[in-house]
A and B are shown apart, each in its own frame.
Chain A
Amino acid sequence: MVPISKDRRLLGAVVVVGVAALVPAVVHDTFWLRVVTEAYMWIGLALGFDVLAGYTGYLNFGHQAFFGIGAYATALLMMRAHWPFPLALAAGGVVGGLAALLLGIPTLRLRGAYFAIATWAVARAVQQYALVATFTGGADGLRTTPYLNPQFFYYVMLGIVAATFFVLWFLLERAPFGLKLKAVREDQESAKALGLNPTHLKLKAFILSAVPAALCGGVFAWWVTFIDPDSTLGDLLSDQALVMVVFGGMGTLVGPVIGAVIIFAFKTLFWAYLSAYEVLYLIILGGVIALSVVFLPDGVLGMAFRRRARRAPEPGPESEPGPEPGSEPGPGPASVSAREKEA
């Protein structure tokens, strides 16, 4: 269709990643490096969330479970089995993917709200289990051996998130897979008639959504050196990812990135200057989601597109110019006579 413009956007993403790779050369302040690293983590979480929410049409309120599972798997393999970090991290991703497979088989049969409730409940159960189990350290959490190298974590997080973006871009925007997912999102019954197996497609999407979250969790576990059920399995993680995706623009890959950056910047500033009013943060987060659903149904990105469309002379979808004669619906003589026949 328009491969050139899409390629140009990909080129833009490559440039952004290239610039990001140069940041540690300029920014030596560990605080700011930490902030940017965490921003990448949120981008990774939001991207994964959007695979299911935007492309497949399922809101997963248990997304944090994959982050937590990845974090715990990586930490446990490093601390108990003494695996090297890359191996433990990869294993964390695999465990997250397997968890998605197991959770997806029963829950992806459910529709809309029921899926949201089911995933939320399962994620709460996982959190409770991590609280009571002994191998997870319970409420005391787990410590990993500190490795005080902010640049290292900066690059690992950037690498994982950039890889996530490009893999998702290829699968969802380039390969047939993304279009097939959208077909399932739009109308599952009709998709079946066109040779698509919705269950398989949704399971693949679920795994594709979970693995980046698990990898981000794995990096998080070693980076912050301490994980507990609250920080890695709390539902605030999913709530924030949801706000980022909705605010940025669902069903796109750039939307979650923009949303994650804006919301995370707000969060950081809020905690830096207004931490005395922490209760306000959740209220504002709730307000943002309510307002963006009402006023920005396509997110910041969608609004930008609409502005551009309004300026361009091309008419919108409602004002179809000059429909060919005879293409208007309505009771023509044929359908009237049909009704008479029926009567």
Chain B
Amino acid sequence: MAEPILQVERVSKVFGGLTAVNDISFSMQPGEILGLIGPNGAGKTTLFNVISGYYAPTRGRVFFQGRDVSGKPPYALAARGIGRTFQVVKPFAGLTVLENITIASFLKHPRRHQAEQAAWKVLEDTGLADRANKQAASLTLAGRKRLEISKALALEPSFLLLDEVVAGLNPTEVDRTIELILRLRDNGITILVVEHIMRVIMGISDRLVVLNFGQMIAEGKPAEVAANPGVVQAYLGEEHE
């Protein structure tokens, strides 16, 4: 087995008295798609923010490509090859779609002209080229979600964190996004996905990690996880509405 690209080692994140994520460990192989699932409030986004540098872990460590990156700021991680999207999409609303992506392209292409060319390539890849000169604020939700992925891709990352990029889309758009994610994986990008829609996450993930109340309650292939009684209870148990 190759050396893992990402290693999460006994990570906990505590906010005041609340332990949002408790003692989580898992690792990811290059080229893998790992699905992170769990009911609302399970700590998925918190874990995401720890891995992408938005929160420093209270305990534990995160290794990326063999190096300890715990507590490194997001922009340093972006420079090392970690791209992420936000669950609540964050377009630069007052700028055009092309400008939004060009900003990300500056990481690998410091000159403006080259950065714009790289941004165009991303736009064509993600199907936003026809809206390149529109204000990001004018995009529909589907367009904004795609812009969110495009920005992360323009970093030319080796590792991608996708936070609910499918939620809220209609079936056609869902299929297009799935196709895009699989294509990225085939291009060698390792992907960590948070998603609520089971059809999607079961279909694309090589492995799943299940969180509930900040604890990791299961890990394994999608079929194994779906059959796990603890997981079924977490999702359908009587305490949950």
Residues of A participating in the B interface, judged by any CB pair closer than 8 Å: 1, 174-176, 179-180, 182-183, 185-187, 189-197, 317-318, 320, 323, 325-330, 332-335, 337-338, 341-343
Given the known A-B contacts A179-B99, A183-B95, A193-B152, are A335 and B135 also in contact in the complex, defined by CB atoms under 8 Å?
Answer: no
Q: How many residues of B contact A (CB 8 A)?
A: 60
Contacts of A334 in B (CB 8 A): 166, 169-171, 174, 197, 199
Cβ contact within 8 Å between A1 and B151: no
Q: Mark B74-101, 1 if CB is under 8 A from A, else 0.
A: 1100110001101000111111001100
Cβ contact within 8 Å between A342 and B196: yes
Comparing B27-35, B57-65, B104-112, B208-216, the segment that makes contact with chain A is B104-112
Contacts of B106 in A (CB 8 A): 176, 179-180, 195
* Among B83, B86, B170, B199, contact of A326 (Cβ-Cβ < 8 Å): B170
Comparing B18-26, B139-147, B217-225, the segment that makes contact with chain A is B139-147
Contacts of A187 in B (CB 8 A): 90-93
Which B residues from 133 to 182 make CB contacts under 8 A with A?
Answer: 133-135, 137-138, 140-143, 151-152, 154-155, 166-174
Given the known A-B contacts A195-B75, A328-B170, A329-B140, are A341 and B107 also in contact in the complex, defined by CB atoms under 8 Å?
Answer: no
Shortest Cβ distance from A194 into B: residue: B104
Cβ contact within 8 Å between B167 and A327: no
Shortest Cβ distance from A318 into B: residue: B138
* Among B92, B174, B198, contact of A190 (Cβ-Cβ < 8 Å): B92
Shortest Cβ distance from B172 into A: residue: A326
B129 within 8 A of A: no
Contacts of A176 in B (CB 8 A): 106, 110-112, 115
A312 to chain B, nearest CB (A): 14
Cβ contact within 8 Å between B134 and A317: yes
Shortest Cβ distance from B111 into A: residue: A176
A339 to chain B, nearest CB (A): 8
Contacts of B133 in A (CB 8 A): 1
B102 to chain A, nearest CB (A): 6
Contacts of A194 in B (CB 8 A): 75, 78, 103-104, 107, 151, 154-155
Cβ contact within 8 Å between A195 and B84: no
Contacts of A182 in B (CB 8 A): 92, 94-95, 99
| Cα of A151 to Cα of B124 in the assembled complex, Å | 56
Cβ contact within 8 Å between B141 and A329: yes
* Among A186, A330, A332, contact of B95 (Cβ-Cβ < 8 Å): A186
Cβ contact within 8 Å between B79 and A195: yes
Shortest Cβ distance from B173 into A: residue: A326
> Could you give 8 example pairs across A and B, Cβ below 8 Å?
A1-B116, A179-B112, A182-B95, A326-B142, A327-B140, A328-B170, A329-B142, A335-B169
| Cα of A193 to Cα of B51 in the assembled complex, Å | 12
Contacts of B75 in A (CB 8 A): 192-197
| Cα of A191 to Cα of B94 in the assembled complex, Å | 14
Most chain B Cβ neighbours within 10 Å, of A180, A182, A190: A190
Contacts of B151 in A (CB 8 A): 190, 193-194
Which B residues from 188 to 211 make CB contacts under 8 A with A?
Answer: 196-199
* Among A183, A332, A335, A342, contact of B103 (Cβ-Cβ < 8 Å): A183
Shortest Cβ distance from B101 into A: residue: A194
Shortest Cβ distance from B107 into A: residue: A195
Cβ contact within 8 Å between B74 and A193: yes
| Cα of A74 to Cα of B223 in the assembled complex, Å | 75
| Cα of A120 to Cα of B33 in the assembled complex, Å | 51
A267 to chain B, nearest CB (A): 31
Contacts of A174 in B (CB 8 A): 112
Cβ contact within 8 Å between B98 and A332: no
